[in-house]
Amino acid sequence: MGVEIEKKFLLANDGWRGLDAGRMYRQGYLNSEKGRTVRVRSAGERGYLTIKGPAVAGVRSEYEYEIPLADAVEILESLCLRPLIEKRRHRIAFKGFIWEVDEFFADNAGLVVAEIELPAPDTSFEKPFWIGQEVTGDPRYTNAALSRQPYCLWGGQ
């Protein structure tokens, strides 16, 4: 079984900018019911199909498969729920880990979050100075939730 163990954070400042050029992602959901998601993503010149189970303390089952980019684009355009998630992902190495900083656009413009994937839930790690408040347990910050309730509708954030 595939497992994803990740922690998610808001950014404290712009100190991450310029550390990686980033790559554009477009993703949409075929299913985003509580407890499971089925996602299609285009990332640069690659396409992916991902199935995720419910998250408990930042740990959940995850199965990801590469699919032809043309198929991913067609599914995104014709089958996925709206709005699509559009973001630039920056991968930044720091103290033995890769931090993924997602800068959102379109309906989620203005939101920037960082994630770190860990080998075990109790793995210790050092945070870069640009990492702020942890939001791992806040379901609003999942990409599936952002496709249902985009950041532009949050009001006052």
Decide if 141 is catalytic.
Answer: no
Residue 62 belongs to domain with CATH number: 2.40.320.10
At 43, the pLDDT band (50, 70, 90 cuts) reads very high
Mean pLDDT of 63-72: 97
**Residue 117 belongs to domain spanning:** 3-153
Tell me 151's DSSP state.
G
Bigger pLDDT: 157 or 22? 22
Q: Model pTM? A: 0.91
Q: Which of these is catalytic: 29, 48, 63, 65?
A: 29
pLDDT tens per residue, range 23-40:
999 999 998 877 789 999
- For the ranges 57-61, 87-91, 105-109, 138-142, the lowest mean pLDDT is seen at 57-61
* Structure tokens belonging to residue 144: 């599936």
- 3-class state of residue 122 by DSSP: coil
Q: How many domains does the chain have?
A: 1
> Strands, E, within the chain: which ranges?
3-11, 23-31, 37-43, 46-52, 59-67, 85-94, 97-104, 112-117, 131-134
Distance, CA of 28 to CA of 108 (rounded, Å): 13
